[in-house]
Amino acid sequence: MVQSREPFTVCSDQHALSHQGPPLTEALPGLVKWNHICLRFPRNVHSDMHDQVLKFGSYIVDALTEYNQPIMIYIPPYAELRGGAWVVVDPTINPTHMEMYADELSRGGVVEPEGRVEIKFRRKDLEKTMQRLDKTCIQIVEKLTTPQLNPDEKAELQKRLAARQEKLLPMYHQVAIQFADLHDTPGRMEETGVITDILKWHSSREFFYWHLKRRLLERQLKRKMKPVTHNVGEGELNSMLHRWFVEDRGTVNAYMWEDDKAMVQWLTEQIREDSMDNAVSDNIRCLQREHVLQQVRSLKEDNPEVAMDSIVHITQHMTPSQRSEVTRILANMDT
């Protein structure tokens, strides 16, 4: 990874493979873009060991695991992410901070279509497909099942079938490769959940600008929420923000949660201290109050013998009006 003073760090695959140092210490988000038409490793175990490709790949995994800023991986048009290279930048390495996006013209998968066909759709499978779909093969197979065939006729039919299959094999092989390639399309990657979304090249820069800005603003709010929300995961924090947004903007505008530009505007309003309509700050204050009350309850349960002393100490620091209100509440509790 390369250090930069720009709003975000763009890391190409060449820089990533040559990185040997520690992760960034400037608290910058990262954008990883695979520039190669097809990037895959290990390609040859001996040469890769000599060039220390596997070693540098492990450095990248270690850095991404410890990275605590938003990381966005983008597969641009006509690029492919294959094999061990996918393992190095898979978002499951750091699911809290990593997201992967693919252009609509990109491809991605551990095994290339040709390799998948060699494993899953071999010649015997292609021959079965021919015998199921090709009319000539179907007719020959039907004749071969006739019990009255003599050995010479059977041998001739088998020869004709083999010749027909040999003629069809290149075409069926190409169809199989195309079919296997459908498993590596962005649509399929999104369906299986290995990427977050599909992008178009001409609008990708604008998308990353607003999406990254949103993520950074969300991080600011989450930093305020975490001190009063112990043992709450990232998913729950996102759910709380979503709920507050719907409460503030109404159910009719709930769809705007998916609009990064609209969310940046809303989050900016919530972060502003001089904002008159700040739903997030109100909710955070409620969380702080509940957090303090929970701490008091825990202390009282753990140390019941100091309950009276605590009440006396608290009432001594109250205003006369507050003490009167406490007296009224206690009196009502007895009735």
- For 270, what's the count of Cα atoms within 13 Å in the CB-facing half-sphere? 26
Is the pTM of the predicted complex or chain greater than 0.85? no
| Residue that wins the pLDDT comparison between 225 and 295 | 225
**Could you report the per-residue pLDDT of 144-193, keeping only the tens digit for each?**
888 888 888 889 999 999 999 999 999 999 999 999 999 899 999 999 99
Give the neighbor-by-neighbor strand order of the sheet with 30-33.
Answer: 9-12, 30-33, 71-75, 98-103, 197-199
Percent of the chain with pLDDT over 70: 84
CA gap 162, 147 in Å, rounded: 20
CA gap 152, 137 in Å, rounded: 19
**pLDDT score, position 41:** 46
pLDDT tier for residue 227 given thresholds of 50, 70 and 90: confident
| Residue that wins the pLDDT comparison between 37 and 231 | 231
**Could you report the per-residue pLDDT of 260-315, keeping only the tens digit for each?**
999 999 999 888 776 666 888 888 888 888 878 777 777 777 777 777 777 777 77
CA gap 316, 264 in Å, rounded: 46
In the predicted model, is pLDDT for residue 10 greater than 60?
no
pLDDT tier for residue 196 given thresholds of 50, 70 and 90: very high
